Amino acid sequence: MGALRQGDAFPEGVAFTYVPPTGSLDLTVCGRPIGYDASKEFKNKKVVLVAVPGAFTPTCQEQHVTSYLAHVADFKRKGVDAIIIIASNDAFVMSAWGKANGVHDESIFFMTDDDAKFSKSIGWNFGDRTNRYAIVVDHGKVVYTALETELASIASSGAEPVLAAL
């Protein structure tokens, strides 16, 4: 498939997996993973898709996710319907990561890019992991892409630069 660029249609056949929020922050309360047809869902929404190399890892936790948590309301004001954070971790780990960050609803979705399949398809993987990037899709059309060139940087994929581009 190759890297996505501004103006491209979001590709068909992209799916993620996640555990829907239970409303509880109790890490021992866990639902069942379900599929999420990103290709279908993104056709009718404005979505910020954020990829990180791993849940609970230093830059991902201390900078990247926290930047989005701090700006959820700002994204909503810009018309964003969903913020989706993906990593190659399994759906249970991603669910626990959301809960550990105080997310008990659908303000931000924590999903898995199973085997980094999507990230590999666009060449934005870091070995078997997702790389660090952000993609904004507005009703099926890619309107922003940013792949970090330095692993510990969020200079172009963090919440602030993405908001500035909207």
**In Å, how far are 63, 66, 107, 154 from 132, measured between CA atoms?**
12, 14, 21, 8
Residues 90 and 30 sit within 8 Å (Cβ to Cβ): no
Of 90, 79, 81, 98, which is closest to residue 128 (Cα–Cα)? 90
Residues 5 and 100 sit within 8 Å (Cβ to Cβ): no
Residue 75, both tokens? 């994204």
Residues 118 and 125 sit within 8 Å (Cβ to Cβ): no
3-class DSSP assignment, residue 89: coil
Measured at the alpha carbon of residue 123, what is the angle toward residues 13 and 59, in degrees to the nearest 5?
105
Residues 85 and 100 sit within 8 Å (Cβ to Cβ): no
Question: Catalytic site residues?
Answer: 60
